[in-house]
Chains A and B, each alone.
Chain A
């Protein structure tokens, strides 16, 4: 290398100077870029474009990844927010329904001063057998519930009668169950009868009104309420309406098929009448 510089150093220096002067002159006298620069730029231009494209692609990918990660996190957060809000909406709906029921119950309290003590209860289980019709509620002796307490809806429609009570639960025989028997009265005519569950009607969600007086004139749609006779149950609780009047198998007596005012499958909350005043 030393020898090379000693031998050709001056020539190299000279050549460099010539090229430099040449380039300077070309740049001074040329209106566009110098030919050498132009040549170099032209040759490298596709490579630059490719480099830029690759760099852009990598940047895009990086941005996409960052955006996706951020969006995923945001999406998760939004989902959680939606779930929370949905839960709040459900709770609000449930509260609203409960509020509506309690308002209706307040009206019932005002209308029925004799029904003094109600206990709100939630249905925890519907019938667990195809042969009976009953409900299990989440209220029991610790809430003051007793056997034979009447259970009604917020509108005062009779659901059934408490048949068994535990500490924090009770079973309610629905009015359509075969073991249910209640003193009943036809609201329009004041005729007295007995509303009883009948297995052949239970599957259809109906019950029968028996022991009607001989001259009873029933019409379809007649309202039937509890009679309250004997003081076992409050009077005036709506049992249902007369759907049809039929003659017994013997042909001697007639009975009415009653359509209960309660849709047992749709019930979720009911009210237990813990005490009542006997109305003469």
Chain B
């Protein structure tokens, strides 16, 4: 396989894994409401892929994911996820490469950061719409984070499987 084919193959598999997670969100997670919120998998996807692939590739993936989310999920502003997910991806990729070592714990930390960033952005939008609700924003963000963070485990291992497979297929360069 040429490097170009390899890249296409890897990102095709990432897309399939993402689709699987989207189906899981739509069919199962959305109906598991605990403490008034349900788990939200998308920030975890952005964080995990950016942790594995680094800030640049992660940001591009997160941008695509954000566009998909904005097309399918209602948000306070039309481009909410398109704006926040690349930022989350950039942050996650940078943290994983510069501060933490790329691994499961790093995925947990960056996922939590992605949730906090998303929540903070929601809070900012409420401020701009002259109706600040920081306490409730923090409460929803905290509950959403607590309920969603266990999902890092299956998501991380699913995407790491793809990542490892692509590493195995790469030709050894001397």
* Chain A residues proximal to chain B, CB less than 8 Å: 127-132, 134, 163-164, 171, 173, 178-179, 196, 198-200, 203
Q: Which residues of A contact B37 (CB under 8 A)?
A: 130
Known contacts: A179-B76, A203-B36. The answer to whether A131 contacts B140 by CB under 8 A is yes
The 7 sampled A-B contact pairs (Cβ below 8 Å) are A128-B26, A128-B74, A130-B36, A130-B144, A199-B133, A200-B133, A200-B136
| Interface range for B | 20 to 34
Q: Which residues of B contact A198 (CB under 8 A)?
A: 131, 133
Q: Give bound CA distance, A199 to B126, whole Å.
A: 8
B40 touches A130 (CB 8 A): yes
Q: Which of B21-76 contact A (CB under 8 A)?
A: 25-26, 30, 36-38, 40, 72-76
Q: Which residues of B contact A128 (CB under 8 A)?
A: 25-26, 30, 72-74
Task: Bits for B144-169, please: 1 = Cβ < 8 Å to A, else 0.
Answer: 10000000000000000000000000
Q: What distance in Å separates the Cβ of B172 from its nearest Cβ neighbour in chain A?
A: 45
Q: Which among B25, B135, B143, B144 is the interface contact of A200 at CB below 8 angstroms?
A: B135
B126 touches A127 (CB 8 A): no
Besides A130-B36, A199-B133, 15 more A-B contacts (Cβ < 8 Å) are A128-B72, A128-B73, A129-B75, A130-B40, A130-B143, A164-B74, A171-B74, A173-B74, A178-B76, A178-B126, A178-B131, A179-B76, A198-B133, A203-B36, A203-B136
A199 touches B74 (CB 8 A): no
